[in-house]
Amino acid sequence: MKILITGSAGFIGSALSISFLKRGDEIIGLDNLNDYYDVSLKKSRLFLKKDYSNYTHYKIDLTDKNKLEELFKKHNPQRVVHLAAQAGVRYSLENPLSYVNNNLVGFINILEACRNNKIDHLVYASSSSVYGANTSLPYSVKQNVDHPLSLYAATKKSNELMAHSYSHLFNIPSTGLRFFTVYGPWDRPDMALQKFTNQIIKGETIKVYNNGNHQRDFTYIDDIVKGIIRVLDKPASPNFKWSSQNPDPSSSKAPWKLYNIGNNKPVKLLDYITSLEKALGIEAKKEFLPIQPGDVPNTWANVNELVENFDYQPKTSVEEGVNKFVSWFRDYYKI
C-alpha cells in the first residue's frame, strides 16, 4: 500500500512510519521540521529510516497548499495518516496563531488534497483534550465535547467537524483518533516524561502541577502504533442506523468515525513519577503547584469500540514503558 504520513519526523509519525515500512508498505513522509523543539531529534528520527528504500521524505509545510497538491499528484497515495499539528496545550496560550495556521489551515489543505485525489481512507489525530470540562469518567466517544478548555483542544474538535463535512459532501472515509497521553522512546522534549527525566538527572526540581493529583491514561507508543495500523487498514463506513432523533456523536450516515485510543488504565501522576524514579535510581526533588490553565484534572479512555472493531489490546504497563524510555534516553543522550 502507498501511504502518506504527515508529521513523519514526529514522535508518533516516526514510529508509525517504521512499522509500515517493515511490513513492506511504501511511505511518503511529510514534515516541515519546525523548531518548536530540538530539530536534531527530528532529524535523528528520520535517520532511523535511511535504510528503507520504500521511504521518501519531503520537507513541506501544510499551509503550502500548492506544494501539498503537487506531492499528492506525484505520488498518488492510497491512504493518508495525518499526524502533523502544532502540539501542546500550554503553548497554545502563548502562540495561538500557530494553532490556527497548522491545525486549521493545514487540516483544510489535507482535506482538499484527499478530496481532489480520491483517497481511500484518511486517519487523523484528534486528542483526549477535546473532552475539556467533561468530568464523567471514563471518557466515551458517545459523550458531548462542546466545552474545550484550551485553543489546542478547540482546534482538534474543529478537525473532527471539518472531517465530517468532507466525508458527508465528498464521500471521503475518515477516522479520527483521540490520543490519550502517548509516551515512550523518541518522545518530545516538552512532554512530561522527557522533561522530568532530564531535570531529575541534573538534580533539578520538577514542577508537579495540580499537587500531583492528576490522573492520566498513559499509553505506550507501540500500543498506539498497532492501533493506528489496524484502523487505517479498515476504512470508515457509514452508520445506516444513525438517527437525528438520538444522534451518536462518534458516527454518521457519512463514512466518518471517531475512536478513543488509550490504555484504559489511568495512573496517578505521582505513581508515574515513582516509576521514573525507580527506573533512574534517583529520587526526584518536587515542587507542588496548582493546576495550570487549560489542563484537565484526569483522563481515562473508554476504548470498548476500538476493542470490538479492531481487537485493540494495549499490553504495555507504565513500569515497563518507562523502563524502555529510560534505556532509550540514556543511550540517545549518552548518559
What does the angle CA 207 – CA 208 – CA 211 come to, to the nearest 5 degrees? 135
Sheet with 26-30, edge to edge strand ranges: 55-58, 26-30, 2-6, 79-82, 121-127, 174-179, 256-261
For 25, the grid coordinates are 508498505
Report the Cα 140 to chain-centroid distance in Å.
17
Between the alpha carbon of residue 313 and those of residues 147, 175, 224, 304, the distances in Å are 30, 19, 10, 10
Nearest to 207 by CA among 291, 290, 287: 287
Place of cell 513541506: 60
User: In 3-state terms, the chain is what percent helix, strand and coil (to 5)?
Assistant: 40, 15, 40
- Catalytic residue, chosen from 99, 131, 152, 312, is 152
- For the chain, the farthest-separated pair of C-alpha atoms sits apart, in whole angstroms, at 59
Annotated catalytic, 259? no
What amino acid positions are annotated as catalytic residues? 152
